[in-house]
Structure 1
Amino acid sequence: MTKAFYFLAAVLLGNAVAAQQPFTLTGNVSKVKDPVSKVYLSYYADGESHRDSTEVKNGTFTFKGTLNEAILGNLMVRIKDSAGTGLRPYNMRRDGYGIFLQPGKLSISSVDSFSNATVKGSAAHTAYLKLKAMNKELDDKAAELNKKYGEYSRAKDEAGMKQIEKEFDALEAQMNANYKKYITENTQSPIALYALNRYAGYDINAADVEPIFLLLPEATRNSSGGKDMAEKIDKAKKTGIGVIAMDFTQNDTLGNPVTLSSFRGKYLLIDFWASWCGPCRRENPNVVAAYQKYHAKGFDILGVSLDQPNAKEKWMKAIHDDNLTWTQVSDLKYWKNEVAVQYGIQAIPQNFLLDPEGKIIGKNLRGEELQQKLAEIFK
């Protein structure tokens, strides 16, 4: 599946500001048709998630904080239901709004619904709207595909899901062309790093992304977001095709340490997954089929789970339910799994196919791609 479809919670960072500086965001929702009871603000900065909330008083609200660069945040409102006794179910397109925050005084005014709003005081947000306009038609198509994929998924229509995935691939290529065009033509933009993160995706091609990154001003590359991107590129270089996979040791389900290099001499698939990951669980039958067909010929799998703390039972149950009979390891640290961090894993499922010497010869092989690759190896 494409990186666009699995885009879950990317680090969406902008240009540099020398140091932490205050920002104030004031909002006016007095013209929103339905009564707004509370507003929530969330954003990711300096390696941490930030969440805040405030009550609406006389149709207005205020958030305050500090930033050292422009950051894409998300505003969400809760609307009272028609009876006025509870809250209406949240609708992302109606009750949410993406806003580029930056140091200084910002304001947002909603017109008739919360998502129909005007922002002032943020040059980064103005640039963000221009970029969104470039991709509006594609974003609308992506929303339609997401809806269809959900319908096929609920109906367990595998053929329909695969067709949607192919359409996502084509759509992603068009989006990436737009992001690349924007970055190369707007290297000084306060959202250049945001666009580069979207272009790079979760499975970064260092040879492609690094030259574009180096086009950005030195101040941008030295910002918090720039250093984060440089680190991602460095990890991508260490996990590229033809590179010897970095060794690691992590405990299996019984608490016994397992070292990657102990699998030398076999073709090995390092499979990053988790019990809570729907796409991972849907891919597992294909991985099981590959293991059963080629294990006796010299193929093995090492599962690395990103299951959450205190969730060992769920991890074990998924292993049993999905018939994953190969070695499984995890430190149950969720996205901070030490091996996942070492390999720069930002989304799952992801995998790396190694040859008997430990060299990476394939990445993110799923479905028919995995079967075809193994068929070539073991013909």
Structure 2
Amino acid sequence: MMKTSTIISIVLYIILASVGSKAQAQKSKEDNYQINGQIKGLNNNQIFIIVYKEGNEKTDTLTTISVGEKFEMKGFTDKSRSVQLHLGEINPRKNSYFYLEPGIIKITGNVDHPDEIKILGTETNEAYTRTQEFLVPLYKRRSALIQQIRNLKEGTPDYKNLAVSIKSKSDSVNDYKILFIKENPRSDISLGYLYVLQDNLPVGLADSLYTNLVPNLRSTVQGKYIGDKLAASKTVAVGKKAPDFTSSDTTGAAIKLSDFKGKYVLLEFWAHWCVPCRAQHPHMKVIYDKFKDKGFTILQYSIDVKKDEKKWKEAIVKDGLVWPQASDLSNGKAPVAELYGVQPIPDSFLISPDGTIIGRRLSHQELEDILSQKLSK
């Protein structure tokens, strides 16, 4: 029979061996990536890296403090993840994006120019830095033009010329990203570009770009989201019949799209917190007043949630919205928006009296021109 001391020794050995193996496993995990940074202007500042996760995974914030202008981080990532780099403080207006992935990641630049920071050393970051070298100058030129156009009166020759220049810059950005997606179907960058672009692309083009992505990208949460939106967009393309739905008005009574059959209907998606949505209301009121007695109406659907019901109704009153309103006020779900593949807002569909979609995301001038043509008889 073993002595008690011998048994204790064996148990301690097993525990220590287990702890040691776990520590070794943890250490091997932590050696998955290394970030070496040197940013001019840093002076023993705090560094924040916000790691975005998929679905319901919790976002992580990694932190360290620079030694002078240099900083270093080590850790483990199970896959390439899009992250935000913040220097000194978390500031949504001053940050840089890169990809946290296995390997040695080298970050250089100037603290005063976060959009020009270079991230090299790993495949995805090398590619992303090359794209930024092309895109950032375009972004800056477009931003300068946007600042100029804000000081001009809409409709003037100078305004129209600047609007053409802004569109040209935006088209150049989009064309570059589309080409990148086509040529790099395995890249996480392509998935990110398509996530942002697909809502403003012809459905056929967006679908071909999506189909060209490798299966493991399409199977991510972001990839599945794009696929679902594209599937919905195909059912609400111009020329298709608008899907009918039943929702609730501000009193809780049922309201259907088909209630307005026989009229031209602008089905518009918004929320009380959406600044661009509410900025459109004065223009919408002008169009509504002009055509409301000629066979036109507006049906607005809010994606507000139940806890914001009061704010939704207050916004309707404050903005003077006299046309029909609908919302399901469901938590995290807006079934009609999902049915129509809507995200982001604002978004809108012009529907003919027979229920056919004849326009989507029309400008105020485009909408007025169509209604003038259709309802002038």
Class of the TM-score when normalised by the shorter of the 2 chains: 0.7 to 0.9
Q: How far apart, CA to CA, are the structure 2 residues paired with 1:48 and 1:223? A: 13
Q: How far apart, CA to CA, are the structure 2 residues paired with 1:216 and 1:377? A: 42
> What is the aligned partner in structure 2 of residue 73 from structure 1?
83
> What is the aligned partner in structure 2 of residue 264 from structure 1?
261
Greater percentage in helix: 2
Q: CA deviation at 1:100?
A: 1.8
Are residue 169 (structure 1) and residue 157 (structure 2) matched?
A: no
Matches within 5 A, 1:1-379: 24=33, 26=35, 28=37, 32-43=41-52, 45-46=54-55, 50-56=59-65, 58=67, 60=71, 62=73, 66-68=77-79, 70-79=80-89, 90=91, 92=93, 95-102=94-101, 104-113=102-111, 115=114, 117-148=117-148, 152=151, 158=154, 163=160, 165-200=163-198, 202-307=199-304, 309-332=306-329, 336-379=333-376
Q: CA deviation at 1:319?
A: 1.4
Q: How far apart, CA to CA, are the structure 1 residues paired with 2:361 and 2:332? A: 18
Q: 1:117 to 1:140 in 2, by over 3 A?
A: closer
Please identify the structure whose Cα radius of gyration is greater. Answer: 2
Residues 141-177 of structure 1: CA deviation (Å, up to 9, x unaligned): 123234445x54xxx9555896555443222222222
Does the CA contact (< 8 Å) of 2:303 and 2:334 recur in 1? yes
Residues 120-159 of structure 1: CA deviation (Å, up to 9, x unaligned): 553111111122223233222123234445x54xxx9555
SS at match of 2:212: coil
Q: How far apart, CA to CA, are the structure 2 residues paired with 1:333 and 1:169? A: 37
Q: 1:313 to 1:228 in 2, by over 3 A?
A: closer
Q: How far apart, CA to CA, are the structure 1 residues paired with 2:330 and 2:163? A: 30
Q: How far apart, CA to CA, are the structure 2 residues paired with 1:166 and 1:308? A: 38
Does the CA contact (< 8 Å) of 2:46 and 2:63 recur in 1? no
Q: How far apart, CA to CA, are the structure 2 residues paired with 1:171 and 1:49? A: 36
Aligned residues: 341
Percent of pairs identical after alignment? 26
SS at match of 2:307: coil
> What is the aligned partner in structure 2 of residue 12 from structure 1?
none
Q: CA deviation at 1:358?
A: 1.7
Greater percentage in strand: 1
Does the CA contact (< 8 Å) of 2:77 and 2:100 recur in 1? no
Residues 34-64 of structure 1: CA deviation (Å, up to 9, x unaligned): 4423514142534767252535375646475
Q: CA deviation at 1:286?
A: 1.6
SS at match of 1:326: coil
Q: How far apart, CA to CA, are the structure 1 residues paired with 2:228 and 2:304? A: 24
Does the CA contact (< 8 Å) of 2:348 and 2:360 recur in 1? yes
Q: 1:282 to 1:65 in 2, by over 3 A?
A: farther
Matched to 1:366, the amino acid is S
Q: CA deviation at 1:344?
A: 1.9
Q: CA deviation at 1:112?
A: 4.2
Gaps of 5+ in 2: 1-28
SS at match of 2:362: coil
Higher deviation after alignment, 329-338 or 134-143: 329-338
Q: How far apart, CA to CA, are the structure 2 residues paired with 1:48 and 1:244? A: 38
Gaps of 5+ in 1: 1-20, 80-88
Q: How far apart, CA to CA, are the structure 1 residues paired with 2:216 and 2:139? A: 31
Does the CA contact (< 8 Å) of 1:179 and 1:198 recur in 2? no
Q: Higher RCO, 1 or 2 (CA under 8 Å, sep at least 6)? A: 1
Q: CA deviation at 1:31?
A: 5.5
Q: How far apart, CA to CA, are the structure 2 residues paired with 1:38 and 1:311? A: 36
Q: 1:131 to 1:212 in 2, by over 3 A?
A: same
Q: How far apart, CA to CA, are the structure 1 residues paired with 2:197 and 2:36? A: 31
Q: How far apart, CA to CA, are the structure 1 residues paired with 2:76 and 2:250? A: 43
Q: How far apart, CA to CA, are the structure 2 residues paired with 1:181 and 1:346? A: 24
SS at match of 1:76: strand
Q: 1:111 to 1:199 in 2, by over 3 A?
A: closer
Q: CA deviation at 1:255?
A: 1.9
Does the CA contact (< 8 Å) of 1:32 and 1:110 recur in 2? no
Q: 1:188 to 1:252 in 2, by over 3 A?
A: same
Higher deviation after alignment, 219-228 or 203-212: 219-228
Q: CA deviation at 1:211?
A: 2.2
Residues 292-326 of structure 1: CA deviation (Å, up to 9, x unaligned): 12122221111112335533333223212222101
Does the CA contact (< 8 Å) of 1:275 and 1:307 recur in 2? yes
SS at match of 1:365: coil
> What is the aligned partner in structure 1 of residue 6 from structure 2?
none
> What is the aligned partner in structure 2 of residue 84 from structure 1?
none
Q: 1:167 to 1:44 in 2, by over 3 A?
A: farther
Q: 1:112 to 1:191 in 2, by over 3 A?
A: closer
Higher deviation after alignment, 178-187 or 220-229: 220-229
